[in-house]
Structure 1
Amino acid sequence: MKNEGRSEPLYDDFEPYCEWKKQNGASILDEVDILEIQLQGFKKEEVKSEMRKDGMLYISGEHPMGKNQIKRFNKKIDVSKYEIKGIEAQFEGGKLQLRLPCKYPLFTFLTIGKDPNYKGLILRLSHKFVKGTTSSAMALALLLLLGVFMYKYLECISIQN
């Protein structure tokens, strides 16, 4: 298709290659996802990003190819499970690298049963925490949690009687 005599640019839309990786954070409780987006030929100023209220990160770019031709892309990334303020980006050598720190709480309180005043403690261990902890420490922690649960359970039974 010829573009002679046209003032409108001819767009070549493409889907850039993306690779997800895991990275160790500053402590054993930190989990960081790394997203590398291959953008060969693009310059830093040709790539734009926008964080929207819907929990999505929008990344787009346009690179002139000559004679009214423009190579462009649009990416939409769900970042709702990440610490938004901790997201970092680096563009180097035709590669955009996003550092996305996870926002997993170690402890979570949930309402159990119909009584809103009674909350149970749920211990959520991320895979990194489990991987970095020895088996004996995990067994000890689970026994401790089981002991606390049994104590509270017996306490509830004695109150009901």
Structure 2
Amino acid sequence: METMNEETLKLFDGDFEPFCQWKKDEHEILEIHLRGFKKQHLRVQVEEPGIVKITGERPIDGTLRRRFRKEIKIPKNCKTDEIRAKFSGDILQIILPKQTTAFPAKPGSTESITRSESMPSSYLLHIESSSSTLEMNTKLALQVAGVLAVVLAFGAYAYKYFHCGHVEG
């Protein structure tokens, strides 16, 4: 009988959604709270076109594991080649440096005003977990079933109304 090693027995306690918050200063910073994770459990990748993918997976006990996956859209005003990640304590920071544009304050003045746009929290694009995917698929199936029921009911009514009306006449 073949024995299974720990690598083949990876069981997942479940995907989870870590607490996240945006901080704004001279950069946009997404803070992801990851209690129990270590740097080697995390992966941050800049993907095309304009997406930062953050994934993590860690052992809980024995063969159980926890994991998450997040994707954020890189704003147009971000210096893509300067994006960096920093993990300290239980917090992973994704730092998105903003491009700044200098505008003169007044005609003839040497002062300038630096304009930077802020990134709304709607830039959080995609949170993938087995439970949220299942919920989305269930909602979609219910919507499709509802539309189908309405179409079938209308079709039966139209068939009865038009077909039976011509038979009598």
- Equivalent residue in structure 1 for 2:70, among 75, 78, 83: 75
- Equivalent residue in structure 1 for 2:86, among 81, 84, 90: 90
Report how many aligned residue pairs link the two structures. 100
| TM-score (normalizing by structure 2) | 0.52
Instruction: Show the counterpart of 1:54.
Output: 49
Gaps of 5+ in 1: 1-5, 24-30, 108-123, 129-161
1:64 aligns with 2:33: no
- Percent identity of paired positions between Structure 1 and Structure 2: 37
Cα distance in 2 between the residues matched to 1:34 and 1:126: 17
Cα distance in 1 between the residues matched to 2:24 and 2:59: 33
1:126 aligns with 2:115: yes
Contact 2:31-2:94 within 8 A present in 1 as well: yes
Instruction: Show the counterpart of 1:16.
Output: 18
1:97–1:67 distance in 2 versus 1, CA, 3 Å: same
Runs of 4+ in 1 over 3 A off after TM superposition: 104-107
Q: CA deviation at 1:21?
A: 1.0
More helix by share: 2
Question: What is the root-mean-square deviation of aligned Cα atoms in Å?
Answer: 2.4
Cα distance in 2 between the residues matched to 1:45 and 1:85: 23
1:8–1:101 distance in 2 versus 1, CA, 3 Å: closer
Q: Which has the larger radius of gyration?
A: 2
Cα distance in 2 between the residues matched to 1:10 and 1:32: 35
Contact 1:12-1:69 within 8 A present in 2 as well: no
| TM-score (normalizing by structure 1) | 0.55
